[in-house]
Homo-oligomer: A and B are copies of this chain.
Amino acid sequence: MSKRPTQADVARSAGVSATTVSLVLNGRTGTRISDDAARRVRVAAETLGYSPDPTALSLRTGRTKTLGFVSDGVTVTRYASAMIRGVLDAAESKGQSVMMAEVDDHPDRWERAIVDLSDRKVDAIVVGLMVARTIELPPMPSGVSTVIVNGLSGGLPSVLPDEFAAGRAAAEYVIRAGHRRIAFIGRSERMLDPVVSATVGRRYQGIDRAMADAGLHFTTTCDLPEWEPGPAREAAMSVLGSPSRPTAILAANDRVAFGVYQAAADLGLTIAQDVSVMSFDDEALADYLRPGLTTMRLPYRDMGMAGVREALNPGNDLLELPMPLVERGSVAPPRG
């Protein structure tokens, strides 16, 4: 029936008052506690296995050592885990626990989640989007620092992938491998709407910059209604089926690249050997494919970590994180 020891228990056992225990254990300076008393308190705390009750602490101090993470799991949950992981890891290293909420696109679920978190007095809020886009958020509780990860919203500090650099690096990588005849599958106009994507425009700009710097133009550029394997496969069939087919394809993302793989298989072409493929995102899929898909990784985990750091320790209004190039073998020098 032994309950958890309280500060009062420690005080009793050390022969001092609760006040003294609090002062000693919080290491307050300038408090004129004798070394002897301090020692007794520490010993008592140690032997009793005392640790302060978080709920009492929250009530008194108004802070909870907890941060809220709200995400929009709706459309795509595929990426969630890496971001959550980053959030949890960073939080743990800062001694914070994480309270999670997931919302769909109903504005009042956002509102409810955020009100609930601020009711519970979380120390900071991280809003995480699975797909980088611009959203409207309900007014944030004042006094709670809030960061949006993988998205933009009003004046909130943001953490985003550095898509311009990634687009540029991807194109440069293919060019440097020796390719001159390159097609781009998945340049979709509708993605340029910031509500649909906050970053794709930057990706395109980076790609365009690299191509321009090399004095090249894409042999073909296809729009796609969706960045999914089905439409991508069809587009790739026509691109790769033409007599003057490109030696490399830049795919808008991994699922598009997967469609390209399927089209190549249908046409009896071997990836890397007959046609190189370079892509974006680094989904699990990219690692399953043979040859493995070379792609620019969306740094979900890093973004989660950065979001937590920024929320606890505000400073930057925009943090752009590098997207590492993951080399797997789908890009090789052109034949001939």
Please give the residue numbers on chain A whose beta carbons come within 8 Å of chain B beta carbons, in ascending order.
51, 53-56, 58-59, 64, 66, 69, 73, 77-78, 80-82, 84-85, 88-89, 92, 97-102, 116, 119-121, 229-230, 233, 255, 258, 262, 265, 284-285, 288, 290
Q: Closest chain B residue to A301 by CB distance?
A: B77
Q: Closest chain B residue to A258 by CB distance?
A: B288
Identify 5 residue pairs between A and B in the complex whose beta-carbon atoms are under 8 Å apart, listed by A's number: A66-B99, A78-B284, A97-B101, A99-B99, A255-B288
Bound together, the chains give a CA A70 to CA B64 distance in angstroms of 19
The count of identical subunits is: 2
Q: Which residues of B contact A99 (CB under 8 A)?
A: 66, 97-100
Q: Which residues of B contact A121 (CB under 8 A)?
A: 54-55
Q: Which residues of B contact A69 (CB under 8 A)?
A: 100
Contact yes or no, B88 A82, CB < 8 A: no
Q: Which residues of B contact A255 (CB under 8 A)?
A: 288
Q: Closest chain B residue to A122 by CB distance?
A: B97
Contact yes or no, B64 A55, CB < 8 A: yes
Contact yes or no, B80 A84, CB < 8 A: yes
| Minimum CB–CB distance for A298 against chain B, Å | 14
The 7 closest A-B pairs by CB, nearest first: A77-B81, A80-B81, A55-B58, A88-B102, A55-B59, A100-B100, A59-B59
Contact yes or no, B80 A100, CB < 8 A: no
Bound together, the chains give a CA A45 to CA B121 distance in angstroms of 20
Q: Closest chain B residue to A58 by CB distance?
A: B55
The secondary structure that dominates the A interface is helix
Q: A81-B81, A99-B100 are in contact. List 14 more A-B contacts (CB 8 A).
A: A53-B59, A53-B119, A55-B55, A55-B59, A55-B120, A59-B59, A73-B85, A77-B85, A78-B284, A88-B101, A98-B101, A229-B288, A230-B290, A262-B290
Q: Which residues of B contact A262 (CB under 8 A)?
A: 290
Q: Which residues of B contact A97 (CB under 8 A)?
A: 99, 101, 116, 120
Q: Closest chain B residue to A66 by CB distance?
A: B99
| Minimum CB–CB distance for A84 against chain B, Å | 7
Q: Which residues of B contact A53 (CB under 8 A)?
A: 59, 119
Q: Which residues of B contact A82 (CB under 8 A)?
A: 77
Contact yes or no, A102 B119, CB < 8 A: no
Give the one of A55, A56, A98, A230 with max B CB within 10 A: A55
| Minimum CB–CB distance for A9 against chain B, Å | 16
Bound together, the chains give a CA A84 to CA B102 distance in angstroms of 9
